[in-house]
C-alpha cells in the first residue's frame, strides 16, 4: 500500500510540472500583455518597457520560466502587476478559502442527501418513494447551475425573501487560515450558493447509490446471508451497504472536477469573492503570475484530489493495487 501511494505520488510530479510549463507558455503567448493598455488608452511605449523590465518580462521566456520556478520554490506565487500593493499570495489567502468552504459544504450536502435518498429508493424499489426519488434525481442532474442559481435567487431571495441573494457571509481573517467564523450570518448567506452547487452532485450520488445497491442486493452472498436466516435489516446494514458504496467512491474524482466548474459559475452568480471569479478576471487583465499560479493551484487540488480518490479506492478494493 505504501509503495502504491509513493508510486502514485511520484507520477503526479511530472504532471504538475507539465501543467506549469503549459500554462506559462500559453499565458505568455497570449497577444497583449499586462501593460499594453491603461484603461481604454494605449500605454506609452517608454513606460511599458520600464514596467516590463521591472517585472523581468523583457528577459527571454525560458529565463522568465526559471525565475518563476525559483519563486514558486520559495512559496512566492508572484507579484500582481496591475495592483502592486498586493501579491498573488494575498489574493489566494483572501479568495481560496471562500471557494473551499463553498465546495466542501456542497459536497457534504450532496452526500448527506444523496446516499440516504439512493438507499431509500433502492429499498422501496418500484414504489412511489422510488419513482419520486428517481425522477427528482434525473431532474437534479439535468438542471444546470447557471439555471438553478438564478432560479433559487428568484424564488427564495426575491419572491419569498428568505435568504440573501448575494455575497458570502464570511471574510478574512480566517480561523486557522481557511475556516470561516461560524456566525448565523455565514450560514444564512451560504444556503443558496451551497444548494445551487450541491443539487446536481446529490442527484448523481443518489442515482449511483441506488443502482449500486440494487446490483449488490442481487448478488450471491446476499442470498447466502438471507438463507442463513438473517433479518433483512441485518442483511442490508451489515452486508449490502458497505459494498454498495464502493462504486460511489469512484464518483469522487469527476465530482471534484464538477465542484471546480461549479464554483466558477456559482461565485459569478452570487458575486462571491472566490478564486474562480478571480481566475476569470485574471485572464482578461493578463496578470501573468496570477493566472499561472491559480492554474497551478487548481491543478494541485485536482491532482491531489484524484490521488486521494485512487488511494481510497485501492484501500476499499485491494485488487486494484496490483494492476
Partner 1 sequence: MAEGKASMDELGQVFEQQFRGKPRSPMGDALREFKRNKVAVGSLVFIAVVGFLALFAPLFTPYGYNVQNTAYARAKPMTPYVITTDKYEQCHWKGTPLDFGCTVYILGADGLGRDILSRVVYGARVSLLVAIIGSSVSLIIGTFYGVISGYFGGKVDELMMRIVDFLYALPVLVIIIIMTVYFKALARSGATGFAGFLIDLDQAMGGLLFMFIAIGALSWLGMARQARGQILAHKKKEYVEAARSIGAGSSRIIFKHLLPNIIGPLLVLESLAIPGYIGLEAFLSFIGLGVNPPTPSWGIMISEGYLGIKSNPHLVLVPGTALTLLTLAFNFMGDGIRDAIDPRIHGR
Question: What is the binding site for partner 1 (CB under 8 A)?
Answer: 11-12, 14-15, 18-19, 22-23, 26-27, 29-32, 126, 134, 138-139, 141-147, 149-151, 153-154, 158, 207, 210-211, 214-215, 257, 260-261, 264-265, 268-269, 279-280, 283, 295, 298-299, 302-303, 306
CB closer to partner 1, 105 vs 265: 265
Cβ 269 to partner 1, closest distance in Å? 6
Taking CB atoms within 8 Å and a gap of at least 24, the contacts of 314-318 are: 314/1, 314/4, 315/1, 316/246, 316/249, 317/246
Cβ 100 to partner 1, closest distance in Å? 16
CB closer to partner 1, 66 vs 135: 135
DSSP state of 321: G
Cβ 182 to partner 1, closest distance in Å? 29
CB closer to partner 1, 153 vs 236: 153
Cβ 96 to partner 1, closest distance in Å? 15
CB closer to partner 1, 63 vs 147: 147
Nine-digit cell string for 77: 506565487
CA-wise closest residue to 213 among 138, 98, 120: 120
CB closer to partner 1, 215 vs 317: 215
| Helix residue ranges per DSSP H, the chain | 2-29, 45-54, 61-73, 88-123, 128-142, 145-152, 184-217, 220-227, 232-234, 241-244, 246-250, 252-269, 275-285, 288-316
Cβ 176 to partner 1, closest distance in Å? 26
Nine-digit cell string for 26: 500559453
Going from the C-alpha of 287 to that of each of 144, 200, 233, 260, the distances in angstroms are 30, 33, 59, 21
Cβ 125 to partner 1, closest distance in Å? 8
CB closer to partner 1, 93 vs 264: 264
Amino acid at each position: 500500500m505504501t509503495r502504491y501511494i509513493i508510486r502514485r505520488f511520484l507520477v503526479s510530479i511530472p504532471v504538475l510540472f507539465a501543467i506549469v510549463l503549459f500554462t506559462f507558455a500559453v499565458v505568455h503567448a497570449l497577444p497583449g500583455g499586462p501593460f499594453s493598455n491603461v484603461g481604454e488608452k494605449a500605454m506609452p511605449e517608454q513606460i511599458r518597457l520600464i514596467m516590463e523590465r521591472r517585472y523581468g518580462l523583457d528577459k527571454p521566456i525560458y529565463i522568465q520560466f526559471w525565475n518563476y520556478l525559483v519563486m514558486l520554490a520559495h512559496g512566492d506565487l508572484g507579484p500582481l502587476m496591475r495592483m502592486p500593493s498586493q501579491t498573488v499570495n494575498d489574493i489566494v489567502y483572501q479568495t481560496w478559502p471562500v471557494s473551499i468552504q463553498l465546495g466542501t459544504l456542497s459536497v457534504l450536502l450532496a452526500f448527506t442527501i444523496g446516499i440516504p435518498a439512493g438507499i431509500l429508493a433502492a429499498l422501496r424499489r418500484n414504489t412511489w418513494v422510488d419513482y419520486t426519488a428517481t425522477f427528482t434525481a434525473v431532474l437534479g442532474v439535468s438542471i444546470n447551475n447557471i439555471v438553478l442559481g438564478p432560479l433559487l435567487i428568484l424564488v427564495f431571495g426575491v419572491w419569498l425573501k428568505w435568504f440573501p441573494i448575494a455575497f458570502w457571509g464570511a471574510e478574512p481573517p480566517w480561523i486557522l487560515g481557511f475556516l470561516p467564523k461560524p456566525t448565523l450570518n455565514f450560514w444564512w448567506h451560504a444556503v443558496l450558493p451551497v444548494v445551487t452547487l450541491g443539487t446536481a452532485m446529490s442527484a448523481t450520488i443518489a442515482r449511483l447509490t441506488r443502482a449500486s445497491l440494487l446490483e449488490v442486493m442481487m448478488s450471491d452472498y446476499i442470498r447466502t446471508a438471507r438463507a442463513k436466516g438473517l433479518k433483512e435489516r441485518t442483511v442490508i446494514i451489515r452486508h449490502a451497504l458497505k459494498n454498495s458504496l464502493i462504486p460511489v467512491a469512484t464518483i469522487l474524482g469527476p465530482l471534484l472536477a464538477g465542484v471546480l466548474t461549479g464554483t466558477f459559475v456559482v461565485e459569478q452568480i452570487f458575486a462571491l469573492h472566490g478564486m474562480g471569479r478571480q481566475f476569470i478576471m485574471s485572464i482578461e487583465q493578463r496578470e501573468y503570475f496570477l493566472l499561472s499560479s491559480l492554474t497551478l493551484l487548481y491543478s494541485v487540488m485536482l491532482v491531489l484530489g484524484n490521488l486521494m480518490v485512487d488511494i481510497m479506492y485501492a484501500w476499499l478494493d485491494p485488487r486494484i493495487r496490483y494492476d
